[in-house]
Amino acid sequence: MKKSNILKASPKSILKAAKILKSGGVVAFPTETVYGLGANAFNSEAVAKIFEIKERPNFDPLIVHVSKKNQLSLIAESIPKKVKKLIDKFWPGPLTIILKKKKKLPDIVTGGLDTVAVRMPSSKIALELIKKSGCPIAAPSANKFSRVSPVRASHVVNQLGRGPDLIIDGGKTIHGVESTIIAFEKGVFYLLRPGAIGLEEIEEKTGFKVKVKKTGKLQAPGQLKKHYAPKANLSIINGGEKIDANSAYIAFKKRPYCKCKVVKILSPKGDLKEAAANLFDFFHFIERSKIKKIYIEKVPHIGLGLAINDRIMRAATKK
Ligand code: TXA
Ligand code: MG
Protein backbone atom coordinates (compact mmCIF):
# COMPACT_ATOMS: atom_id res chain seq x y z
CA MET A 1 0.00 0.00 0.00
CA LYS A 2 1.42 3.39 -1.02
CA LYS A 3 1.60 6.14 1.60
CA SER A 4 -0.88 9.01 1.25
CA ASN A 5 -0.40 10.23 -2.30
CA ILE A 6 -1.81 13.76 -2.09
CA LEU A 7 0.22 16.88 -1.29
CA LYS A 8 -0.68 20.58 -1.32
CA ALA A 9 1.10 22.48 -4.08
CA SER A 10 4.37 24.01 -2.83
CA PRO A 11 7.91 24.33 -4.20
CA LYS A 12 8.79 21.19 -2.21
CA SER A 13 5.89 19.06 -3.43
CA ILE A 14 6.38 20.23 -7.03
CA LEU A 15 10.04 19.20 -6.84
CA LYS A 16 9.01 15.81 -5.48
CA ALA A 17 6.47 15.42 -8.29
CA ALA A 18 9.08 16.40 -10.89
CA LYS A 19 11.45 13.73 -9.56
CA ILE A 20 8.68 11.13 -9.83
CA LEU A 21 8.03 12.15 -13.45
CA LYS A 22 11.76 11.98 -14.24
CA SER A 23 11.97 8.47 -12.90
CA GLY A 24 8.98 7.14 -14.90
CA GLY A 25 6.14 7.74 -12.45
CA VAL A 26 2.69 9.23 -12.94
CA VAL A 27 1.54 12.46 -11.27
CA ALA A 28 -1.89 14.16 -11.20
CA PHE A 29 -1.58 17.94 -11.23
CA PRO A 30 -3.77 21.01 -11.68
CA THR A 31 -3.80 23.06 -14.87
CA GLU A 32 -5.90 26.17 -15.51
CA THR A 33 -8.54 23.95 -17.23
CA VAL A 34 -8.89 20.61 -15.43
CA TYR A 35 -6.52 18.30 -13.51
CA GLY A 36 -4.20 16.25 -15.72
CA LEU A 37 -2.61 12.83 -15.23
CA GLY A 38 0.95 13.22 -16.46
CA ALA A 39 3.98 11.18 -17.41
CA ASN A 40 7.23 11.85 -19.30
CA ALA A 41 6.10 11.94 -22.97
CA PHE A 42 9.33 10.19 -24.03
CA ASN A 43 8.91 7.26 -21.66
CA SER A 44 6.47 4.79 -23.28
CA GLU A 45 6.16 2.64 -20.19
CA ALA A 46 5.29 5.63 -18.03
CA VAL A 47 2.70 6.77 -20.60
CA ALA A 48 1.22 3.26 -20.68
CA LYS A 49 0.57 3.57 -16.93
CA ILE A 50 -1.71 6.56 -17.66
CA PHE A 51 -3.97 4.37 -19.82
CA GLU A 52 -3.98 1.67 -17.17
CA ILE A 53 -4.94 4.07 -14.36
CA LYS A 54 -7.66 5.77 -16.46
CA GLU A 55 -8.94 2.41 -17.73
CA ARG A 56 -9.04 3.76 -21.26
CA PRO A 57 -10.00 0.79 -23.45
CA ASN A 58 -7.98 2.02 -26.39
CA PHE A 59 -4.99 4.27 -26.74
CA ASP A 60 -6.54 7.64 -27.53
CA PRO A 61 -4.00 10.30 -28.35
CA LEU A 62 -2.84 12.46 -25.45
CA ILE A 63 -1.98 16.14 -25.22
CA VAL A 64 1.71 16.87 -24.65
CA HIS A 65 2.31 19.78 -22.27
CA VAL A 66 5.37 22.00 -22.57
CA SER A 67 6.72 24.77 -20.34
CA LYS A 68 8.57 26.71 -23.05
CA LYS A 69 7.79 27.33 -26.70
CA ASN A 70 11.22 26.07 -27.72
CA GLN A 71 10.36 22.60 -26.33
CA LEU A 72 8.08 22.29 -29.35
CA SER A 73 11.01 21.34 -31.57
CA LEU A 74 11.45 18.16 -29.48
CA ILE A 75 8.01 16.86 -30.38
CA ALA A 76 6.80 18.60 -33.56
CA GLU A 77 8.41 18.52 -37.02
CA SER A 78 7.88 22.16 -37.95
CA ILE A 79 5.70 25.07 -36.95
CA PRO A 80 3.88 26.84 -39.79
CA LYS A 81 3.99 30.66 -39.61
CA LYS A 82 0.25 31.03 -38.98
CA VAL A 83 0.42 28.50 -36.15
CA LYS A 84 3.30 30.44 -34.63
CA LYS A 85 1.15 33.56 -34.62
CA LEU A 86 -1.70 31.67 -32.96
CA ILE A 87 0.62 30.25 -30.31
CA ASP A 88 2.18 33.66 -29.66
CA LYS A 89 -1.26 35.09 -28.90
CA PHE A 90 -2.57 32.25 -26.72
CA TRP A 91 0.34 30.52 -25.01
CA PRO A 92 0.65 29.98 -22.16
CA GLY A 93 -3.06 29.19 -22.01
CA PRO A 94 -5.87 26.72 -22.74
CA LEU A 95 -5.24 26.30 -26.47
CA THR A 96 -4.10 22.97 -27.92
CA ILE A 97 -2.72 22.80 -31.44
CA ILE A 98 -2.26 19.70 -33.59
CA LEU A 99 1.10 19.53 -35.38
CA LYS A 100 3.07 16.98 -37.39
CA LYS A 101 4.86 14.77 -34.86
CA LYS A 102 8.59 14.09 -34.56
CA LYS A 103 9.34 10.43 -35.26
CA LYS A 104 11.13 9.86 -31.96
CA LEU A 105 8.04 10.79 -29.92
CA PRO A 106 6.60 7.37 -28.89
CA ASP A 107 3.51 6.25 -30.85
CA ILE A 108 1.63 5.45 -27.66
CA VAL A 109 1.39 9.22 -26.98
CA THR A 110 -0.34 9.93 -30.30
CA GLY A 111 -2.33 6.70 -30.64
CA GLY A 112 -0.31 5.86 -33.76
CA LEU A 113 -1.21 9.14 -35.54
CA ASP A 114 1.49 11.10 -37.33
CA THR A 115 0.29 14.26 -35.58
CA VAL A 116 0.65 15.39 -31.98
CA ALA A 117 -1.53 17.62 -29.77
CA VAL A 118 0.51 20.21 -27.83
CA ARG A 119 -0.23 22.95 -25.35
CA MET A 120 1.61 25.21 -22.92
CA PRO A 121 -0.58 25.61 -19.84
CA SER A 122 -0.75 28.94 -17.99
CA SER A 123 -1.13 27.37 -14.53
CA LYS A 124 1.99 28.30 -12.53
CA ILE A 125 1.97 24.91 -10.82
CA ALA A 126 1.80 23.01 -14.11
CA LEU A 127 4.49 25.19 -15.71
CA GLU A 128 6.85 24.78 -12.76
CA LEU A 129 6.28 21.03 -12.68
CA ILE A 130 7.05 20.61 -16.39
CA LYS A 131 10.10 22.87 -16.08
CA LYS A 132 11.51 21.02 -13.08
CA SER A 133 10.86 17.59 -14.64
CA GLY A 134 12.95 18.63 -17.65
CA CYS A 135 10.70 16.84 -20.14
CA PRO A 136 7.46 17.42 -22.07
CA ILE A 137 4.57 15.87 -20.14
CA ALA A 138 1.87 13.77 -21.82
CA ALA A 139 -1.33 14.26 -19.85
CA PRO A 140 -5.00 13.53 -20.41
CA SER A 141 -7.61 14.74 -17.93
CA ALA A 142 -7.22 12.86 -14.62
CA ASN A 143 -10.58 11.02 -14.67
CA LYS A 144 -11.63 7.44 -15.37
CA PHE A 145 -12.53 6.75 -19.00
CA SER A 146 -15.69 8.61 -20.16
CA ARG A 147 -16.32 10.15 -16.73
CA VAL A 148 -16.40 13.79 -15.58
CA SER A 149 -13.07 15.64 -15.66
CA PRO A 150 -11.74 16.68 -12.23
CA VAL A 151 -11.58 20.35 -11.28
CA ARG A 152 -10.39 19.70 -7.68
CA ALA A 153 -7.80 17.30 -6.24
CA SER A 154 -10.58 15.53 -4.28
CA HIS A 155 -12.28 14.63 -7.60
CA VAL A 156 -9.04 12.95 -8.71
CA VAL A 157 -8.84 11.01 -5.43
CA ASN A 158 -12.47 9.88 -5.77
CA GLN A 159 -11.96 8.51 -9.27
CA LEU A 160 -8.32 7.38 -9.39
CA GLY A 161 -7.62 6.68 -5.72
CA ARG A 162 -4.04 5.53 -5.26
CA GLY A 163 -3.45 5.06 -8.99
CA PRO A 164 -1.19 8.10 -9.46
CA ASP A 165 2.15 8.07 -7.58
CA LEU A 166 1.35 11.60 -6.41
CA ILE A 167 -1.55 14.06 -6.64
CA ILE A 168 -0.69 17.77 -6.36
CA ASP A 169 -3.55 19.72 -4.81
CA GLY A 170 -3.71 23.22 -6.29
CA GLY A 171 -7.34 23.98 -5.37
CA LYS A 172 -10.19 24.45 -7.85
CA THR A 173 -9.13 25.06 -11.45
CA ILE A 174 -9.95 28.44 -13.02
CA HIS A 175 -11.64 27.55 -16.32
CA GLY A 176 -13.31 24.27 -15.42
CA VAL A 177 -13.51 23.01 -19.03
CA GLU A 178 -10.73 21.58 -21.15
CA SER A 179 -8.59 23.44 -23.66
CA THR A 180 -9.82 24.38 -27.13
CA ILE A 181 -8.27 22.04 -29.73
CA ILE A 182 -7.36 23.46 -33.13
CA ALA A 183 -5.93 21.65 -36.16
CA PHE A 184 -4.13 23.30 -39.07
CA GLU A 185 -4.45 21.62 -42.46
CA LYS A 186 -3.44 23.04 -45.82
CA GLY A 187 -3.46 26.59 -44.49
CA VAL A 188 -6.85 26.33 -42.75
CA PHE A 189 -7.62 26.21 -39.01
CA TYR A 190 -10.26 23.73 -37.84
CA LEU A 191 -11.92 23.46 -34.45
CA LEU A 192 -11.66 19.87 -33.17
CA ARG A 193 -12.96 20.46 -29.64
CA PRO A 194 -14.64 23.60 -28.28
CA GLY A 195 -12.97 24.61 -25.02
CA ALA A 196 -11.89 27.34 -22.63
CA ILE A 197 -11.04 29.81 -25.41
CA GLY A 198 -13.98 30.84 -27.59
CA LEU A 199 -13.68 30.92 -31.39
CA GLU A 200 -14.64 34.60 -31.45
CA GLU A 201 -11.61 35.39 -29.28
CA ILE A 202 -9.28 33.47 -31.60
CA GLU A 203 -10.65 35.22 -34.66
CA GLU A 204 -10.50 38.62 -32.96
CA LYS A 205 -6.90 38.30 -31.73
CA THR A 206 -5.40 36.69 -34.84
CA GLY A 207 -7.68 37.66 -37.70
CA PHE A 208 -7.78 33.94 -38.68
CA LYS A 209 -11.07 32.21 -39.42
CA VAL A 210 -11.56 28.88 -37.66
CA LYS A 211 -13.77 26.33 -39.42
CA VAL A 212 -16.03 24.06 -37.43
CA LYS A 213 -15.95 20.55 -38.87
CA LYS A 214 -18.59 18.24 -37.52
CA THR A 215 -17.70 15.00 -39.29
CA GLY A 216 -14.82 13.35 -41.05
CA LYS A 217 -11.37 12.27 -40.02
CA LEU A 218 -10.46 15.68 -38.69
CA GLN A 219 -12.60 15.20 -35.61
CA ALA A 220 -10.56 14.70 -32.48
CA PRO A 221 -10.22 10.94 -31.97
CA GLY A 222 -11.29 9.83 -28.53
CA GLN A 223 -14.00 12.48 -28.41
CA LEU A 224 -16.75 9.98 -27.77
CA LYS A 225 -20.40 10.91 -27.94
CA LYS A 226 -20.84 9.75 -24.36
CA HIS A 227 -18.23 11.52 -22.29
CA TYR A 228 -17.93 13.66 -19.18
CA ALA A 229 -20.81 11.60 -17.78
CA PRO A 230 -21.86 11.78 -14.13
CA LYS A 231 -23.24 8.53 -12.65
CA ALA A 232 -26.75 9.99 -12.37
CA ASN A 233 -29.03 10.09 -15.39
CA LEU A 234 -28.81 13.53 -16.99
CA SER A 235 -31.67 15.15 -18.94
CA ILE A 236 -31.50 18.42 -20.80
CA ILE A 237 -34.44 20.73 -20.07
CA ASN A 238 -36.54 21.57 -23.10
CA GLY A 239 -39.28 23.35 -21.18
CA GLY A 240 -42.59 22.02 -19.93
CA GLU A 241 -41.35 18.70 -18.49
CA LYS A 242 -42.45 17.42 -15.10
CA ILE A 243 -39.54 17.58 -12.67
CA ASP A 244 -39.10 14.74 -10.23
CA ALA A 245 -38.68 16.12 -6.66
CA ASN A 246 -35.96 13.57 -5.83
CA SER A 247 -33.73 14.99 -8.50
CA ALA A 248 -31.10 17.67 -8.85
CA TYR A 249 -31.56 20.70 -11.10
CA ILE A 250 -28.71 22.68 -12.65
CA ALA A 251 -29.93 26.01 -14.01
CA PHE A 252 -27.97 28.54 -16.03
CA LYS A 253 -28.78 31.76 -14.16
CA LYS A 254 -32.37 31.81 -12.85
CA ARG A 255 -33.59 29.74 -9.89
CA PRO A 256 -36.18 27.30 -11.28
CA TYR A 257 -39.70 26.83 -9.82
CA CYS A 258 -39.12 23.30 -8.57
CA LYS A 259 -38.75 21.53 -5.26
CA CYS A 260 -35.73 19.47 -6.20
CA LYS A 261 -33.39 18.02 -3.57
CA VAL A 262 -30.48 20.00 -4.96
CA VAL A 263 -30.69 23.17 -7.03
CA LYS A 264 -27.48 24.63 -8.43
CA ILE A 265 -27.10 27.80 -10.48
CA LEU A 266 -24.18 27.83 -12.92
CA SER A 267 -23.93 31.62 -12.86
CA PRO A 268 -26.48 33.94 -11.22
CA LYS A 269 -24.86 36.80 -13.20
CA GLY A 270 -25.29 34.88 -16.45
CA ASP A 271 -21.50 34.84 -16.95
CA LEU A 272 -20.33 31.95 -19.15
CA LYS A 273 -16.85 31.92 -17.57
CA GLU A 274 -18.37 31.36 -14.15
CA ALA A 275 -20.76 28.76 -15.59
CA ALA A 276 -17.87 26.80 -17.17
CA ALA A 277 -15.90 26.85 -13.92
CA ASN A 278 -18.89 25.42 -12.03
CA LEU A 279 -20.23 22.77 -14.43
CA PHE A 280 -18.00 19.77 -13.64
CA ASP A 281 -17.76 20.84 -10.00
CA PHE A 282 -21.57 20.57 -9.71
CA PHE A 283 -21.54 17.15 -11.43
CA HIS A 284 -19.01 15.90 -8.88
CA PHE A 285 -20.97 17.45 -6.00
CA ILE A 286 -24.24 15.79 -7.09
CA GLU A 287 -22.43 12.49 -7.61
CA ARG A 288 -21.46 12.51 -3.94
CA SER A 289 -25.08 13.21 -2.91
CA LYS A 290 -26.15 9.89 -4.56
CA ILE A 291 -29.02 11.57 -6.44
CA LYS A 292 -30.00 9.45 -9.45
CA LYS A 293 -31.50 12.06 -11.76
CA ILE A 294 -30.18 15.45 -12.88
CA TYR A 295 -31.99 18.04 -14.99
CA ILE A 296 -29.83 20.64 -16.67
CA GLU A 297 -30.43 23.75 -18.75
CA LYS A 298 -28.27 24.53 -21.78
CA VAL A 299 -26.47 27.87 -21.82
CA PRO A 300 -26.40 30.56 -24.56
CA HIS A 301 -24.53 29.10 -27.56
CA ILE A 302 -21.89 31.84 -27.94
CA GLY A 303 -18.24 32.06 -26.88
CA LEU A 304 -17.54 29.63 -24.06
CA GLY A 305 -21.16 28.46 -24.37
CA LEU A 306 -20.10 26.14 -27.24
CA ALA A 307 -17.75 24.23 -24.91
CA ILE A 308 -20.28 24.13 -22.06
CA ASN A 309 -23.13 22.88 -24.29
CA ASP A 310 -20.79 20.32 -25.88
CA ARG A 311 -19.97 18.86 -22.44
CA ILE A 312 -23.66 18.94 -21.38
CA MET A 313 -24.76 17.11 -24.54
CA ARG A 314 -22.07 14.44 -24.26
CA ALA A 315 -22.83 13.95 -20.56
CA ALA A 316 -26.54 13.50 -21.40
CA THR A 317 -25.88 10.94 -24.15
CA LYS A 318 -27.19 7.56 -23.06
CA LYS A 319 -24.72 5.36 -24.96
O1 TXA B 1 -7.41 21.14 -20.94
C2 TXA B 1 -6.98 20.08 -21.42
O3 TXA B 1 -6.76 19.94 -22.63
C4 TXA B 1 -6.69 18.93 -20.44
C5 TXA B 1 -5.55 19.35 -19.51
C6 TXA B 1 -5.12 18.25 -18.59
O7 TXA B 1 -4.49 19.84 -20.26
N8 TXA B 1 -6.38 17.72 -21.14
C9 TXA B 1 -7.30 16.98 -21.82
O10 TXA B 1 -6.81 15.79 -22.34
O11 TXA B 1 -8.45 17.33 -21.96
P12 TXA B 1 -7.76 14.58 -22.82
O13 TXA B 1 -6.89 13.40 -23.11
O14 TXA B 1 -8.82 14.37 -21.85
O15 TXA B 1 -8.27 15.07 -24.21
C16 TXA B 1 -7.36 15.17 -25.27
C17 TXA B 1 -8.05 15.04 -26.58
C18 TXA B 1 -8.25 13.60 -27.01
O19 TXA B 1 -9.45 13.05 -26.63
C20 TXA B 1 -8.21 13.73 -28.51
O21 TXA B 1 -9.52 13.92 -28.94
C22 TXA B 1 -7.43 15.00 -28.79
O23 TXA B 1 -7.14 15.57 -27.57
N24 TXA B 1 -6.18 14.73 -29.49
C25 TXA B 1 -5.00 14.37 -28.96
N26 TXA B 1 -4.09 14.17 -29.93
C27 TXA B 1 -4.70 14.41 -31.10
C28 TXA B 1 -4.30 14.39 -32.46
N29 TXA B 1 -3.05 14.07 -32.82
N30 TXA B 1 -5.21 14.70 -33.41
C31 TXA B 1 -6.48 15.04 -33.06
N32 TXA B 1 -6.92 15.09 -31.78
C33 TXA B 1 -6.05 14.77 -30.83
MG1 MG C 1 -10.57 13.96 -21.01
Q: Which ligand is nearest to the CA of 193?
A: 1
What's the mean pLDDT in 141-153? Answer: 95
Domains and CATH numbers, the chain: 3-212 (3.90.870.10), 233-316 (3.40.50.11030)
Cα of 233 vs centre of ligand 2, distance in Å, is 20
- Whether the CB-CB separation of 263 and 311 falls below 8 Å is answered with no
Mutate to test the pocket of ligand 1, among 63, 145, 147 (most ligand atoms within 8 A of CB): 63
Q: What is the pTM of this model?
A: 0.91
Between 10-14, 151-155, 257-261, the lowest mean confidence (pLDDT) is in 257-261
Ligand lying nearest the CA atom of residue 190: 1
Omega of the bond leading into 57 within 30 degrees of 0 (cis): no
Q: Tell whether the model's pLDDT for residue 34 goes beyond 70.
A: yes
Above 90 in pLDDT, residue 2? no
CB burial readout 82-93, b (16+ within 10 A) else e: ebeebbebbbbb
Q: Which ligand 1 atom minimizes the distance to the CA of 221?
A: 21
The closest residue, in CA terms, to atom 12 on ligand 1 is 140
Q: Which residues pair with 37 in a beta bridge?
A: 28
Ligand nearest the Cα atom of residue 144: 2
- Ligand 1, atom 6, lies closest to the CA of 36
* DSSP classification of residue 69: G
In this predicted structure, what is the pLDDT of residue 10? 98
Give the whole-angstrom CA distance, residue 142 versus residue 240: 37
What is the side-by-side strand order in the sheet with 293-296?
233-236, 293-296, 248-251, 262-265
